[in-house]
Amino acid sequence: MLAPNRLCLLLQLAASLPSIGLLACRETAGISEAPLRDAATFPVGVAVSVSRVWEDPTYEALVRHHFDSLTPESAMKMAAIHPERDAYNWVYADGLVEFARETGQRLHGHVLVWHEDLPGWVATFQGDASAWSAMLEEHITTIVTRYADAFDQWDVVNEAFEDDGTLRHTIWAEHLGEDYVAACFQWAGAADPGAKLFYNDFGLASSPQKLAAVLEMVDDLRSREPPVPIHGIGLQMHVDLEHPTIEEVAHAAGAIAGRGLLVRFSELDVALNPGGEDIDLSSALLEAQRERYREIVAFYAGLPDEVQAGITVWGVSDADSWMRLEAGRMDWPLLFDEAYQAKPAFFGFAAGLQPGDTSPAATITRSWRP
Ligand code: 9MR
């Protein structure tokens, strides 16, 4: 049998009436399901590749149908958007802005400052701490100013801490000094005072020392005079079937919200093969993944409205996941399969959005207020 996406292609080529081809395509592409976003009281987002939006009609249709918030998966990373010292590449970010204007979807900026995906010129940049500061300030200010009308929130700094709670020894910490995180938030806030600014990291639910360090940093930023603007924390939520436990997630989310910060589940995916073993996908694994998505979404849906900044899944189909493309391991972590069919995980996500969900995690959260 032809894979549905191949079938789509054939139908599109063959159909004398293009609309019939498109209709058949969409029928096979997981958009016959009710839009996820319609069932949620908070933004339901997805990380996208802008070129895939342009080039793959089925991908585009899914992105448009189910989600109301878009995050560029890599188009705004420094290597992509600032490839030369004196040159920015706006093509992909502008394209995403144009797409979102047409669809009415909101945009979350990812990421202003990270130690990975840097352009070559940063590694050879010469200068003292003030030259490095001026360079990074210009990077942040240029991007946030350009997109102030289009992006209402940003991941300002990504992954600045180690699991043991120490500041990661990045090129930024090395050259700007240990207070660089504060400076980045300051610059982003000055460029767009209306934007919601997030610190984003992985492992915050499973590493108590890392969580403590991030919370301490937030307290420090907010206690300064004047306060350094920071509005929320992105828990990346690259989870597997067991770790972190939902109680650990609840603890981290509760600690963040308890400080009056927004909580984002910013890069949700559920690994089925975290060890990179030579395994086959089974229906038991898919069912376990359905339940895992349900408990995580049900937990989030039970948070007080005022702290919910939304959930973003980190990619559209399993074939697009960083686990395969970047980590080089076979996995099936997302809501749609390689043929863009909705997986059990999709239905678990949808079930978690239902108000009547009575998972233990939802109960924990509903009884809790910041
Ligand atoms: O999913 C992203 C992948 O396509 C990129 O190759 C990679 C490097 O830029 O980044 C991946 O996304 C990462 C995100 O930006 C930050 N948190 C960890 C994500 C997975 O590595």
Residue whose CA is at the smallest distance from ligand 1 atom 11: 322
C-alpha distance from residue 233 to each of 181, 256, 265 (Å): 14, 7, 9
* Pocket lined around ligand 1, Cβ cut-off 6 Å: 73-74, 77, 116-117, 158, 236, 267, 322, 325-326
Q: How far, in whole angstroms, is CA 19 from its chain's centroid? A: 33
Residues of the chain above pLDDT 70, percent:
91
Ligand 1 centroid to residue 252 C-alpha, Å = 22
Residue whose CA is at the smallest distance from ligand 1 atom 14: 73
From the CA of 77, give the closest atom in ligand 1.
9
How much is the pLDDT for 361? 81
Q: Domain residue spans in the chain?
A: 1-32, 36-363
From the CA of 321, give the closest atom in ligand 1.
1
Q: Which segments of 54-166 are extended strands (E)?
A: 69-72, 106-109, 151-158
pLDDT at 18 over 70: no
Q: Annotated catalytic sites, by residue?
A: 159, 267
In words, the CATH class of domain 36-363 is: alpha beta
How much is the pLDDT for 16? 38
The strand pairing partners of 311, in sequence order, are 44, 265
In tens, the pLDDT along 158-168 reads 999 999 999 99
In tens, the pLDDT along 37-80 reads 999 999 999 999 999 999 999 999 999 999 999 999 999 999 99
Ligand 1 centroid to residue 220 C-alpha, Å = 28
The helix-helix angle for 4-14 and 18-27 (nearest 10°) equals 170
pLDDT at 26 over 60: no
Q: Give the pair of three-digit tokens for residue 93.
A: 């970010």
CB 296 within 8 A of CB 348: no
How much is the pLDDT for 2? 36
pLDDT at 335 over 80: yes
Q: How confident is the model at residue 235 (pLDDT cuts 50, 70, 90)?
A: very high
Ligand 1 centroid to residue 64 C-alpha, Å = 22
How much is the pLDDT for 356? 85
To the nearest whole number, what is the mean pLDDT of the chain?
92
In tens, the pLDDT along 261-271 reads 999 999 999 99
pLDDT at 325 over 90: yes
pLDDT at 12 over 80: no
**To test ligand 1's pocket by mutation, which of 170, 322, 323 has the most ligand atoms within 8 angstroms of CB?**
322
Query: Which of 15-24, 79-88, 194-203, 336-345 bottoms out in mean pLDDT, i.e. has the lowest?
Result: 15-24
In tens, the pLDDT along 347-364 reads 999 999 998 887 788 887
CB 340 within 8 A of CB 59: yes
Determine the straight-line distance between the first and last CA of the chain, rounded to whole angstroms. Answer: 53
Distance between CA atoms of residues 210 and 163, nearest Å: 5
pLDDT at 146 over 50: yes
The length of the chain is: 370
Q: Residues 182-199: what's their mean pLDDT?
A: 98
Q: Three-state DSSP class for 314?
A: coil
Alpha-carbon dihedral sign for residues 6, 12, 16, 19: positive
Residue whose CA is at the smallest distance from ligand 1 atom 8: 117
Q: How confident is the model at residue 170 (pLDDT cuts 50, 70, 90)?
A: very high
Quote the radius of gyration of the chain (alpha carbons, Å).
21
* Full-model pTM: 0.92
How much is the pLDDT for 6? 43
In tens, the pLDDT along 98-142 reads 999 999 999 999 999 999 999 999 999 999 999 999 999 999 999
From the CA of 327, give the closest atom in ligand 1.
21
Distance between CA atoms of residues 127 and 138, nearest Å: 15
How much is the pLDDT for 369? 64
Ligand 1 centroid to residue 315 C-alpha, Å = 10
Ligand 1 centroid to residue 327 C-alpha, Å = 10
Residue whose CA is at the smallest distance from ligand 1 atom 4: 322
* Spatial CA neighbour of 347 closest among 358, 336, 338: 336
Q: CB neighbours (10 Å) of residue 254?
A: 17
59 burial type by CB count under 10 A (0-12 exposed, 13-18 middle, 19+ buried): buried
Distance between CA atoms of residues 173 and 184, nearest Å: 12
Distance between CA atoms of residues 246 and 44, nearest Å: 20
How much is the pLDDT for 8? 45
Residue whose CA is at the smallest distance from ligand 1 atom 3: 322
From the CA of 236, give the closest atom in ligand 1.
17
Q: How confident is the model at residue 341 (pLDDT cuts 50, 70, 90)?
A: very high
